[in-house]
Amino acid sequence: MPAARGERAGNPDPLLVACALRIEQAALRGAPRGAPEAYGLLRTGMGPRAAERAVARALERPGMDRAAVLATGFCAGLVPGMHPGDLVVAEETRDPQGTVPCTGTTLLAEALARAAPGRTVHLGALTGSDHVVRGQERAQLRATGAIAVDMESAATLWAATRAGNRPVAAVRVIVDAPEHELVRIGTVRGGISAFRVLRAVLPAFYDWHRSLLLPRR
C-alpha cells in the first residue's frame, strides 16, 4: 500500500515555522503537547532579504525537501475596523517577486478560531514590504486588495515554493491598524496583546500541519 500524503517510510514531513523578531520567537518557543515530532522554529531576521536567505538555507538541510512552511509573527492591518490581536490568514502572499497561493486556509482559520476564541480572524491577501508601513501608504496598499502587510511572509513563502513543491501558509497577528497605529512593538498594550495571541495560536499551526498528512479522499 502506498504511503499516505505527507508520509515517507512512516515519517511525516516536517513543519517549519518561520518568524523574524526575537519577541515573535519568544512567543513561539517551546513545543507544547501535540507538536509534530519534526517541528522546527526558524528566526530569519528582519526584512525580506534576510527571510529569503534564511528559509532557503533551512530547506537545503537533509529531510527538508518536502517540509511544510508557515510564516508567522506580527503585521500591520490595512482595513479600518481591525484591532491589535486580530488574526490574519493569508489566502495568498504578494511581493514584487510574485504571488504565492496558500494551502488549507479555511482549515487553518477554523483552527485559529478554536485556539483563540473571541479573536477576529481575517482571510485575504497579505502583501510584502521592505519597510515599516505607516500613514497614507496603508490606504495605497489596501487599494490593491490586500488586507494586511508585513516584511517577511511573502519572501518566506516565495523562497519555500522556489525550493520545491510543498504546503505553505502565513498567519499574522495584527499589532497595529489604521485606527491603532503604534510606534514600537512590545512597549504598548497592542504589542502585548499580539504577543499573547501569537503564543496562544501555536497549536493551530499543528492542527493545520496534521490536516496535510491526511490522505485525500
Cell of 196: 499573547
Spatial distance between the Cα atoms of 203 and 197, rounded to a whole number of angstroms:
11
- pTM > 0.85: yes
Q: Set out the domains of the chain in order of their start, with CATH numbers.
A: 7-213 (3.40.50.1580)
Spatial distance between the Cα atoms of 215 and 15, rounded to a whole number of angstroms:
17
Write out pLDDT tens, residues 124-175: 999 999 988 877 888 899 999 999 999 999 999 999 999 999 999 999 999 8
**Is the model more confident about 195 or about 180?**
195
Residue with cell string 534576510: 50
